[in-house]
Chains A and B, each alone.
Chain A
C-alpha cells in the first residue's frame, strides 16, 4: 500500500516539486519577516517610534492570513493531485482507514519537510538581502542577526499547526467522497453565473469595508492598535468581495462583446472563468501583497530620501576646516565649491571673537527653517549685524572645533578685533553642488584634520556631511525594515502567482496542445497566454496601488516628510520589478505549456 502511494509520488515528482518549492518559498519568506518582527531589541533600538511595532504586528497578522490561504491553496493542489490515485486505490479495494492514514502522513511529511527547508533557506535569504541592503544603501545596522531562534520557532509552529489542520481536512475530504467522484474530480463544472443582487451586495459591502479600512489607517493616531486591526480585517475582506463580484461580472460581460469572438479571446475568457474561484482568491492575495511590498519600499525609500534633505536643512555648508593646510585648500578647490568663506577668529575660554568686517564682505549663509521640521528651509545671507540677531547663527558655532563649539560668538569691529592678544585662527567653510557625491573626499579631509591635533578637531555637529552621518544612523533601521519587507513581500507575491500558474500548467498544456492541433498559430497561442497572465498581474496591481496610496496615510505619524514625496521613484522601481517578474512568469509558463 505504501509502495503504491510512493509510486504515485515518483510518477508526479514534477508536481510535487512545484508544491514543495512553493511551500519552501512561503515558509522562507515568513521566516524572513519574523526575523525582523520578533526581534524586539532590534526594533526598539532602531526606532524611537512605538508605531513601528504596531506596523509589524499588522504585517504579522496579514502574513499569517496570507499563509493560511496559501497553504489552503497548496493543500487543494496536493489533494487534486492525489484524488485520482486514491480513487483508484479505493476502486481496487483499499480500506478507507488505511487511505486516511496515508493522506495524513503524506500531507504532514510534505509540509514539515518544506517548512524546515524553508526556514534554513529563509535564514540564507535574510543574510543575502540584509547584506545587499547594507551595501547598497550605506546603512548601519545594530542588533540584527539573520538567525533568530524565536522567529524560526514561530514559523515552525504556525506551519506545522496549519499542516495538521490541512491533513485533517484532507482526511475528511477524501474519505467522505465516493470513489467515483474522486476519479472525476478534475473535470468539475465551473459555470460563471451572474447573480445581480448578490453581486451588487458584495460590491457595496466590499467598497464599504475598504473605505472603513482606509479611514482607520488615516486615523491611526486616535485609533491606535484597534485601527490596525480594523484596517486589516476590512481591507482583506473588502478586496476579496470586490474581486469576487467584479471579476465574474467582468468575464461574463466581456464574453458578450464582439471582441470576445475574435481569435483566442473567448478561449482566454473561458480559461479565466473556469478557474474563477481560484483566481479571485489569488487576485486578492496578490493585491494585498502588492500593496504591502510597494508600501514598504515606498516608506523605506521615503526615509532614505529624507536623510539628505534633513542634512541639507541643518546647515548651508558641507564641511569646515580650521587652519587648513595648502594641500587641504587645494583639495577643497578641486571640489569646485559653490559657496566658500574663510573667517578669522580669536578665542578665550568662553568666547569666540570674529572680525565683523569679514562677515560684511563674505556673508555667512544659514539654513532658516520654517515649521517644526528641518525640511522646509531657505538659505539666507547674514552680515555681522544679522548674525548677532539671527536665531540661526548657531550654525556657525556648529562648524567650529570641538573646543569652541559651545562658546559664545562675538562679532567685533575690525579695530577692536585687532587689539585682541590671543592667537588668530582661520575657519574655512564651504559647500559643493551635491554634497553626497563627495563623501570620500570629505572623509579624507576630516581624517587628515583630526590627525593634526585635538585642538583642531572639528565638532561632529556642523555641516551637512556630519549631519548626514547622524541622520543616516538614526534612520538606517527604518530604511532597512522598509526595503527588507518590500523584498520579502514581493518574493511572496512572486511565489503566490508562480504557484497558481504552475499548478494549473499541466491542465493548460493539454488545452494548448489541442488548440495547436486545431490550427492555431504559435503567435496566437502566445498572445492568449500573455493575456491570461497579464490579467492576473494587472488587476491586483491596480488595486494594490490604490491600497498603497491610502495606506501611506499611516506613515504620516512616523515620517517627517509627507509619505507621498517623491513617490514616483519607488513606484517606478516597483513597476520595473513587477514587469520583469511578469516576463519571467510568462517565459516559464510558455516553456511548460508550449514546450
Chain B
C-alpha cells in the first residue's frame, strides 16, 4: 500500500572535522523513508553514527550532503525563524537526559511549546491536562524535575514533545537511564500514542528490548544501513528473539 512517506532521507553524508584537519566520515550515504504512523527503530554499535543520524533528521545538525524532507518539505537548509517554527510545529524530541528545564515545574515544562507559540492561555491548561492524563502524570504536574523519578521525567518530556501534535517524534535512547519497569512503561506509552494518534516515531536505541516495540528496525554499521528488519505479524517476544539473532550475526 504505497502512501506518501512522512519523511524521506536521501543519500545522507556527514563528515566531522573541517577540510584540511583530521576528518571523520560518520555517515556514508543513508537512504530510507518513514511512513505516516510508523514506529521505526535505529540500532547499531556504539559509535556507528546513530546519534549523528538522528541529529540530522531532527534539524539539530546539518549534513555534509544529502537531503531530508518531512511532509515533502526539505529541512536540511532551514535557518533562523523558519527553523524555529519547524521545530516548534512539526517535530518533538526526547533525549536520554537534559530533557527538562529544572527551573520550571512539570506543568510549565509541558506548556512551554504552547506559550512559545503564544497560544491563548485559556487553551493551554486543557491541552496540558489532556496529554498529562494520556501519559499518566497528572499528579506530578506541580513538581519540579528534581522531585520526579527518571521515568516520570521522561514522561513529562514526552508530554512536552507531544503537546504540539508533531508529525514525528524523535527519541535518542530515551530509556537509556531508566530501569526496566520504567522503560517498559515509557515504551508502552510510545506504542499507545503511536497507535491512537498515528504519530510517527523514530527511536534510536541499542537495547534489543526497546527495539522490539518497533515495527521496523534499521541497523547501522560504519555509517551505512547494513540491514533492515520488519516485525510484520510477529509477536513482540518473537521479534525480540529475531533482533537478538540479527545483532549476533550483524555485529561481527
Contact = CB atoms under 8 A, between A and B. Distances in A.
Report if A and B associate in a common complex.
Answer: yes
Interface of A: 187-189, 191, 258, 261-267, 270-271, 273-274, 510-511, 514-524
Given A266-B108, A524-B116, A187 B102 contact: yes
Nearest to A184: B146
A263 B121 CA distance: 11
A469 B101 CA distance: 63
15 contacts: A261-B111, A262-B118, A262-B121, A264-B116, A266-B111, A270-B108, A273-B103, A514-B101, A516-B84, A517-B87, A518-B160, A519-B83, A519-B85, A520-B88, A521-B81
B113 interface: yes
Contacts of B147: 189
B215 to A, nearest CB: 26
Given A511-B101, A519-B86, A520-B84, A266 B115 contact: yes
B103 A270 contact: yes
A270 B85 CA distance: 23
Contacts of A262: 115, 118, 121
A367 B145 CA distance: 75
9 tightest CB-CB pairs across the interface, nearest first? A519-B88, A519-B87, A274-B103, A261-B121, A521-B84, A270-B103, A270-B104, A187-B146, A258-B121
Given A267-B112, A270-B104, A514-B98, 16 more contacts: A262-B115, A266-B104, A266-B112, A270-B101, A270-B103, A273-B103, A511-B101, A511-B103, A516-B84, A517-B60, A518-B88, A518-B116, A518-B160, A520-B84, A521-B85, A523-B81
Interface string B163-199: 0000000000000000000000000000000000000
A517 to B, nearest CB: 6
Interface string B89-111: 10001000011011110001001
B39 to A, nearest CB: 22
Instruction: Name which of B89, B102, B124 has the most chain A CB atoms within 10 A of its CB.
Output: B102
Instruction: Name which of A258, A271, A510, A517 has the most chain B CB atoms within 10 A of its CB.
Output: A517
A517 B83 CA distance: 10
Nearest to A523: B81
A111 to B, nearest CB: 30
Contacts of A517: 60, 87, 93
A261 B115 contact: yes
A181 to B, nearest CB: 12
A289 to B, nearest CB: 27
A353 B121 CA distance: 91
Interface in B15-67: 60
Given A517-B87, A519-B85, A520-B84, A261 B116 contact: no
Contacts of B84: 516, 519-522, 524
Interface residues of B, number: 31
Contacts of A519: 83-89, 113, 116
Contact of A263 (B89, B118, B144): B118
Nearest to A274: B103
Contact of B87 (A191, A266, A518): A518
B221 to A, nearest CB: 28
Nearest to B160: A518
A523 B115 CA distance: 15
A511 B88 CA distance: 16
Interface string B67-91: 0000000000000110111111100
Contact of B80 (A258, A270, A514, A521): A521
Nearest to B81: A521
B87 A188 contact: no
Contacts of A261: 111, 115, 121, 124
Nearest to B147: A189
A263 B101 contact: no
Contact of B113 (A189, A518, A521): A518
B113 A188 contact: no
Interface of B: 60, 80-81, 83-89, 93, 98-99, 101-104, 108, 111-113, 115-116, 118, 121, 124, 144-147, 160
A171 to B, nearest CB: 27
Contact of A188 (B81, B108, B146, B160): B146
A516 B80 CA distance: 10
B87 A189 contact: no
Contacts of A187: 102, 145-146
Given A187-B102, A266-B108, A270-B101, A520 B116 contact: yes
A187 B104 CA distance: 12
A47 B22 CA distance: 69
Given A187-B145, A263-B118, A518 B112 contact: yes
A503 to B, nearest CB: 16
Contacts of B99: 514
B122 to A, nearest CB: 9
A517 B86 CA distance: 11
A270 B100 CA distance: 13
Contacts of A520: 84, 88, 116
A521 B80 CA distance: 7
A267 B121 CA distance: 15
A270 B104 CA distance: 6
Contacts of B144: 189, 191
Instruction: Name which of A264, A266, A523 has the most chain B CB atoms within 10 A of its CB.
Output: A266
A270 B115 CA distance: 14
Nearest to B107: A266
Contacts of A263: 115-116, 118
B113 A510 contact: no
A528 to B, nearest CB: 10
A518 B93 CA distance: 8
A519 B81 CA distance: 9
Contacts of B108: 266-267, 270
Nearest to B87: A519
B53 to A, nearest CB: 16
Contact of B146 (A189, A273, A514): A189
Contacts of A522: 80-81, 84
Nearest to A264: B116
Instruction: Name which of B60, B89, B116 has the most chain A CB atoms within 10 A of its CB.
Output: B116
A436 B88 CA distance: 64
A396 to B, nearest CB: 75
Contacts of A271: 103
Contacts of A265: 115
Nearest to B83: A519
Contacts of A264: 115-116
A471 B85 CA distance: 66
Contacts of A189: 144, 146-147
B111 A510 contact: no
A321 B244 CA distance: 110
A524 B116 CA distance: 8
Contacts of B98: 510, 514
Nearest to B161: A518
B175 to A, nearest CB: 20
A563 to B, nearest CB: 43
A189 B144 CA distance: 7
Contacts of B101: 267, 270, 511, 514-515
Nearest to A522: B80
A267 B60 contact: no
